[in-house]
Amino acid sequence: MRPRIVTLTLNPAVDMACMATAVKPTHKIRTFDERVDPGGGGINVARVAQVLGGEVHALILTGGATGRMLEELLDAAGLPWQGLPIRGRTRISLNVHDRQSGLEYRFVPEGPHVEEQEWRGALDLLRRVDAEWIVASGSLPRGVPADFYGQAAGIATGRGQKFVLDTSGAALRTAIGHGIALLKCSLGELEFLIGRELRDRPAQEREVAALIRSGAAGMIAISLGREGALLATREGITRLAAIAVQERSTVGAGDSFLAGLVVGLAQGMSDQEALALAVAAGTAAVGSYGTAQVHRDDIDALYRQLRATAASGA
Protein backbone atom coordinates (compact mmCIF):
# COMPACT_ATOMS: atom_id res chain seq x y z
CA MET A 1 0.00 0.00 0.00
CA ARG A 2 1.38 3.39 -0.97
CA PRO A 3 1.74 5.73 2.00
CA ARG A 4 0.00 9.04 1.43
CA ILE A 5 1.92 10.75 4.24
CA VAL A 6 5.60 10.23 5.06
CA THR A 7 7.03 12.00 8.09
CA LEU A 8 10.68 12.81 8.77
CA THR A 9 12.09 13.09 12.31
CA LEU A 10 15.79 13.89 12.51
CA ASN A 11 15.88 14.30 16.30
CA PRO A 12 13.40 11.80 17.75
CA ALA A 13 13.15 10.98 21.44
CA VAL A 14 12.01 8.45 23.94
CA ASP A 15 9.46 10.56 25.82
CA MET A 16 9.11 9.75 29.51
CA ALA A 17 6.22 11.33 31.42
CA CYS A 18 5.41 11.09 35.10
CA MET A 19 3.57 12.72 37.98
CA ALA A 20 5.11 14.10 41.17
CA THR A 21 3.38 15.35 44.30
CA ALA A 22 5.67 18.40 44.31
CA VAL A 23 8.87 19.36 42.51
CA LYS A 24 11.42 20.88 44.91
CA PRO A 25 15.11 21.66 44.45
CA THR A 26 17.71 19.30 46.02
CA HIS A 27 14.99 16.84 47.11
CA LYS A 28 14.62 13.30 45.83
CA ILE A 29 11.42 13.56 43.81
CA ARG A 30 9.34 10.40 43.92
CA THR A 31 7.31 9.95 40.75
CA PHE A 32 4.30 7.86 39.79
CA ASP A 33 1.97 7.21 36.83
CA GLU A 34 5.02 6.85 34.59
CA ARG A 35 4.56 6.24 30.89
CA VAL A 36 6.94 6.02 27.95
CA ASP A 37 6.03 7.07 24.40
CA PRO A 38 7.85 7.34 21.07
CA GLY A 39 8.36 11.05 20.55
CA GLY A 40 9.72 13.72 18.24
CA GLY A 41 7.81 15.99 15.86
CA GLY A 42 7.40 13.74 12.83
CA ILE A 43 6.74 10.64 14.92
CA ASN A 44 3.95 12.43 16.78
CA VAL A 45 2.45 13.63 13.50
CA ALA A 46 2.53 10.10 12.09
CA ARG A 47 0.95 8.54 15.17
CA VAL A 48 -1.96 10.99 15.21
CA ALA A 49 -2.40 10.87 11.43
CA GLN A 50 -2.70 7.10 11.72
CA VAL A 51 -5.38 7.46 14.40
CA LEU A 52 -7.26 9.69 11.94
CA GLY A 53 -7.12 7.03 9.24
CA GLY A 54 -4.20 8.39 7.25
CA GLU A 55 -1.78 6.11 5.41
CA VAL A 56 1.50 6.96 7.10
CA HIS A 57 5.14 5.94 7.21
CA ALA A 58 7.68 7.46 9.61
CA LEU A 59 11.34 8.02 8.69
CA ILE A 60 13.64 8.50 11.68
CA LEU A 61 17.29 8.80 12.59
CA THR A 62 17.96 6.33 15.39
CA GLY A 63 21.02 5.18 17.32
CA GLY A 64 22.29 3.38 20.39
CA ALA A 65 20.39 1.48 23.06
CA THR A 66 17.88 4.31 23.36
CA GLY A 67 17.32 4.13 19.62
CA ARG A 68 16.47 0.45 19.92
CA MET A 69 14.04 1.33 22.69
CA LEU A 70 12.40 3.89 20.42
CA GLU A 71 12.08 1.29 17.68
CA GLU A 72 10.38 -1.12 20.11
CA LEU A 73 7.93 1.61 21.11
CA LEU A 74 7.10 2.32 17.47
CA ASP A 75 6.50 -1.38 16.84
CA ALA A 76 4.28 -1.59 19.92
CA ALA A 77 2.30 1.40 18.65
CA GLY A 78 1.80 -0.34 15.29
CA LEU A 79 3.34 2.55 13.37
CA PRO A 80 5.10 1.75 10.07
CA TRP A 81 8.62 3.19 10.20
CA GLN A 82 12.06 3.09 8.64
CA GLY A 83 15.17 3.90 10.62
CA LEU A 84 18.38 5.48 9.38
CA PRO A 85 21.13 4.35 11.79
CA ILE A 86 23.44 6.93 13.34
CA ARG A 87 26.44 6.54 15.64
CA GLY A 88 25.00 8.79 18.35
CA ARG A 89 22.36 7.81 20.90
CA THR A 90 18.72 8.81 20.53
CA ARG A 91 17.79 11.30 23.24
CA ILE A 92 15.44 10.80 26.19
CA SER A 93 13.05 13.61 27.15
CA LEU A 94 11.38 13.93 30.55
CA ASN A 95 8.05 15.60 31.31
CA VAL A 96 7.06 15.98 34.96
CA HIS A 97 3.62 17.14 36.08
CA ASP A 98 3.71 18.81 39.51
CA ARG A 99 0.41 17.96 41.21
CA GLN A 100 0.84 20.64 43.88
CA SER A 101 1.30 23.58 41.51
CA GLY A 102 -0.42 22.13 38.47
CA LEU A 103 2.64 23.04 36.40
CA GLU A 104 4.33 20.86 33.81
CA TYR A 105 8.13 20.73 33.62
CA ARG A 106 9.68 19.65 30.32
CA PHE A 107 13.33 18.59 30.11
CA VAL A 108 14.42 18.27 26.47
CA PRO A 109 18.06 17.31 25.67
CA GLU A 110 19.69 18.67 22.53
CA GLY A 111 20.20 15.16 21.18
CA PRO A 112 23.06 13.39 19.41
CA HIS A 113 25.59 14.77 16.95
CA VAL A 114 24.74 13.63 13.43
CA GLU A 115 27.59 13.15 10.99
CA GLU A 116 27.52 14.45 7.43
CA GLN A 117 27.08 11.06 5.77
CA GLU A 118 24.17 10.36 8.11
CA TRP A 119 22.14 13.49 7.33
CA ARG A 120 23.01 13.21 3.65
CA GLY A 121 21.63 9.68 3.81
CA ALA A 122 18.30 11.16 4.93
CA LEU A 123 18.25 13.43 1.86
CA ASP A 124 19.09 10.47 -0.38
CA LEU A 125 16.17 8.54 1.11
CA LEU A 126 13.82 11.45 0.40
CA ARG A 127 14.84 11.23 -3.26
CA ARG A 128 13.41 7.70 -3.35
CA VAL A 129 10.48 7.71 -0.95
CA ASP A 130 7.00 7.21 -2.38
CA ALA A 131 4.47 9.64 -0.92
CA GLU A 132 2.11 12.47 -1.74
CA TRP A 133 2.89 14.45 1.41
CA ILE A 134 6.28 14.78 3.13
CA VAL A 135 5.99 16.17 6.67
CA ALA A 136 9.24 17.31 8.28
CA SER A 137 8.71 18.23 11.92
CA GLY A 138 11.01 18.93 14.83
CA SER A 139 14.40 20.40 15.63
CA LEU A 140 17.62 19.73 13.78
CA PRO A 141 20.19 17.77 15.78
CA ARG A 142 23.76 18.95 16.12
CA GLY A 143 25.80 18.50 12.98
CA VAL A 144 22.90 19.00 10.57
CA PRO A 145 23.16 22.28 8.61
CA ALA A 146 20.51 24.94 9.13
CA ASP A 147 19.48 24.75 5.47
CA PHE A 148 18.66 21.01 5.65
CA TYR A 149 14.90 21.54 5.50
CA GLY A 150 15.29 23.91 2.57
CA GLN A 151 17.20 21.17 0.73
CA ALA A 152 14.53 18.63 1.68
CA ALA A 153 11.76 20.93 0.46
CA GLY A 154 13.52 21.35 -2.86
CA ILE A 155 13.80 17.58 -3.29
CA ALA A 156 10.14 16.96 -2.49
CA THR A 157 8.89 19.82 -4.65
CA GLY A 158 11.02 18.65 -7.55
CA ARG A 159 9.36 15.23 -7.31
CA GLY A 160 5.85 16.70 -7.28
CA GLN A 161 5.28 16.05 -3.58
CA LYS A 162 3.72 18.44 -1.07
CA PHE A 163 6.31 19.41 1.55
CA VAL A 164 5.11 20.36 5.04
CA LEU A 165 7.38 21.93 7.65
CA ASP A 166 7.14 22.56 11.38
CA THR A 167 10.40 23.72 12.96
CA SER A 168 11.95 26.78 14.59
CA GLY A 169 14.95 29.09 14.67
CA ALA A 170 17.50 29.20 11.86
CA ALA A 171 16.10 25.96 10.37
CA LEU A 172 12.77 27.73 9.89
CA ARG A 173 14.17 30.95 8.52
CA THR A 174 16.41 29.28 5.92
CA ALA A 175 13.65 26.92 4.68
CA ILE A 176 10.99 29.45 3.71
CA GLY A 177 10.73 30.20 0.03
CA HIS A 178 11.94 26.75 -1.06
CA GLY A 179 8.61 25.39 -2.28
CA ILE A 180 6.96 24.60 1.05
CA ALA A 181 3.33 23.63 0.49
CA LEU A 182 2.29 24.05 4.12
CA LEU A 183 4.18 25.81 6.91
CA LYS A 184 3.02 25.38 10.50
CA CYS A 185 4.16 27.89 13.14
CA SER A 186 3.32 28.87 16.66
CA LEU A 187 2.73 32.55 17.35
CA GLY A 188 6.25 32.79 18.77
CA GLU A 189 7.72 31.30 15.61
CA LEU A 190 5.74 33.70 13.46
CA GLU A 191 7.02 36.60 15.54
CA PHE A 192 10.56 35.25 15.11
CA LEU A 193 10.14 35.39 11.33
CA ILE A 194 8.64 38.87 11.37
CA GLY A 195 11.01 40.25 13.98
CA ARG A 196 8.43 41.78 16.32
CA GLU A 197 5.48 40.94 18.54
CA LEU A 198 2.09 40.39 16.91
CA ARG A 199 -0.35 40.49 19.79
CA ASP A 200 -3.49 41.68 18.02
CA ARG A 201 -5.52 39.77 15.47
CA PRO A 202 -5.23 42.25 12.55
CA ALA A 203 -1.43 42.31 12.83
CA GLN A 204 -1.22 38.53 12.82
CA GLU A 205 -3.41 38.19 9.77
CA ARG A 206 -1.68 41.04 7.93
CA GLU A 207 1.79 39.54 8.41
CA VAL A 208 0.74 35.99 7.54
CA ALA A 209 -0.91 37.24 4.36
CA ALA A 210 2.30 39.11 3.50
CA LEU A 211 4.33 35.93 3.96
CA ILE A 212 1.99 34.08 1.61
CA ARG A 213 2.36 36.82 -1.03
CA SER A 214 6.15 36.70 -0.66
CA GLY A 215 6.21 33.01 -1.56
CA ALA A 216 7.35 31.82 1.86
CA ALA A 217 4.89 28.94 1.62
CA GLY A 218 1.72 28.00 -0.23
CA MET A 219 -0.26 27.75 3.01
CA ILE A 220 0.62 28.87 6.54
CA ALA A 221 -1.09 27.57 9.67
CA ILE A 222 -0.62 29.37 12.98
CA SER A 223 -1.50 27.67 16.25
CA LEU A 224 -2.51 30.29 18.81
CA GLY A 225 -3.12 28.21 21.93
CA ARG A 226 -6.18 29.42 23.81
CA GLU A 227 -6.87 31.86 20.95
CA GLY A 228 -7.46 29.03 18.47
CA ALA A 229 -5.73 28.87 15.10
CA LEU A 230 -5.68 30.31 11.61
CA LEU A 231 -4.91 29.00 8.14
CA ALA A 232 -3.77 31.40 5.43
CA THR A 233 -3.76 30.69 1.70
CA ARG A 234 -3.71 32.88 -1.40
CA GLU A 235 -7.52 32.77 -1.29
CA GLY A 236 -7.74 34.25 2.19
CA ILE A 237 -7.55 33.50 5.90
CA THR A 238 -9.64 31.02 7.88
CA ARG A 239 -9.74 31.38 11.64
CA LEU A 240 -11.24 29.18 14.36
CA ALA A 241 -11.62 29.73 18.09
CA ALA A 242 -10.26 27.21 20.57
CA ILE A 243 -12.31 24.81 22.68
CA ALA A 244 -11.71 25.02 26.42
CA VAL A 245 -10.61 21.70 27.95
CA GLN A 246 -8.88 20.65 31.12
CA GLU A 247 -5.19 20.77 30.25
CA ARG A 248 -3.29 17.58 31.11
CA SER A 249 -0.26 17.82 28.80
CA THR A 250 0.91 20.11 26.02
CA VAL A 251 3.51 17.63 24.73
CA GLY A 252 2.76 16.82 21.12
CA ALA A 253 -0.27 19.12 20.90
CA GLY A 254 1.21 21.14 18.04
CA ASP A 255 2.15 17.95 16.22
CA SER A 256 -1.38 16.63 16.71
CA PHE A 257 -2.74 19.87 15.26
CA LEU A 258 -0.49 19.48 12.22
CA ALA A 259 -1.51 15.84 11.76
CA GLY A 260 -5.18 16.78 11.70
CA LEU A 261 -4.54 19.54 9.19
CA VAL A 262 -2.50 17.37 6.82
CA VAL A 263 -4.96 14.46 6.98
CA GLY A 264 -7.86 16.84 6.33
CA LEU A 265 -6.17 18.45 3.33
CA ALA A 266 -5.02 15.06 1.98
CA GLN A 267 -8.62 13.86 2.16
CA GLY A 268 -9.84 16.86 0.15
CA MET A 269 -11.52 18.78 2.98
CA SER A 270 -12.14 22.49 2.65
CA ASP A 271 -9.79 24.86 4.46
CA GLN A 272 -12.31 25.37 7.26
CA GLU A 273 -12.99 21.65 7.64
CA ALA A 274 -9.29 20.78 7.69
CA LEU A 275 -8.56 23.53 10.22
CA ALA A 276 -11.40 22.27 12.41
CA LEU A 277 -9.91 18.76 12.32
CA ALA A 278 -6.53 20.23 13.24
CA VAL A 279 -7.89 22.17 16.21
CA ALA A 280 -9.87 19.12 17.34
CA ALA A 281 -6.76 16.90 17.23
CA GLY A 282 -4.63 19.45 19.07
CA THR A 283 -7.31 19.95 21.71
CA ALA A 284 -7.64 16.19 22.22
CA ALA A 285 -3.89 15.97 22.81
CA VAL A 286 -3.95 18.77 25.40
CA GLY A 287 -6.69 16.94 27.29
CA SER A 288 -4.71 13.68 27.44
CA TYR A 289 -1.75 12.54 29.54
CA GLY A 290 1.44 11.60 27.69
CA THR A 291 2.83 12.53 24.27
CA ALA A 292 0.12 13.09 21.64
CA GLN A 293 -2.15 10.49 23.21
CA VAL A 294 -5.35 10.98 21.24
CA HIS A 295 -8.43 8.88 20.54
CA ARG A 296 -10.50 9.04 17.37
CA ASP A 297 -13.82 9.33 19.22
CA ASP A 298 -12.58 12.36 21.18
CA ILE A 299 -11.32 14.07 18.03
CA ASP A 300 -14.55 13.37 16.17
CA ALA A 301 -16.65 14.82 19.01
CA LEU A 302 -14.51 17.96 19.18
CA TYR A 303 -14.62 18.30 15.39
CA ARG A 304 -18.42 18.16 15.37
CA GLN A 305 -18.52 20.79 18.11
CA LEU A 306 -16.24 23.10 16.14
CA ARG A 307 -18.21 22.67 12.92
CA ALA A 308 -21.50 23.34 14.72
CA THR A 309 -20.09 26.47 16.31
CA ALA A 310 -18.77 27.71 12.96
CA ALA A 311 -22.12 27.02 11.29
CA SER A 312 -23.98 28.98 13.95
CA GLY A 313 -21.64 31.94 13.57
CA ALA A 314 -20.81 31.93 17.27
- Mean pLDDT for 61-65 is 97
- Dmax of the chain from CA atoms? 56
Across the chain, mean pLDDT equals 94
Give percent of the chain with pLDDT exceeding 70. Answer: 98
pLDDT above 50 for 114: yes
Q: Residues 208-259: pLDDT tens digits?
A: 999 999 999 999 999 998 889 999 999 999 999 988 888 787 888 999 999 9
Known active-site residue 75: no
Residue 127 has a pLDDT of 96
* pLDDT over 90 (residue 90): yes
What is the total residue count of the chain?
314
- pLDDT at residue 242 in the model: 87
pLDDT of residue 69 exceeding 50: yes
Answer with the residue of higher pLDDT: 291 or 14: 14
Asked if residues 57 and 132 have their Cβ atoms less than 8 Å apart, the reply is no
Confidence band (pLDDT; 50, 70, 90) for 1?
very low
pLDDT in tens, 154-198: 999 999 999 999 999 999 999 999 999 999 999 999 999 999 999
For residue 314, the model assigns a pLDDT of: 57
- Report angle CA 17, 305, 285 to the nearest 5 degrees: 10
Query: What integer pLDDT is reported at residue 108 of this predicted model?
Result: 94
Please report, for residues 20, 103, 237, 299, 305, the alpha-carbon distance to residue 233 in angstroms, rounded to integers and kept in the order given: 44, 36, 6, 25, 24
Give me the mean pLDDT over the 195-205 stretch. Answer: 92
- Catalytic annotation, pick one of 37, 166, 255, 271: 255
Report residue 257: phi and psi, to 5°. Answer: -55, -50
**pLDDT at site 292:** 78
Average pLDDT for 104-133? 96
Q: Is the pLDDT of residue 266 over 60?
A: yes
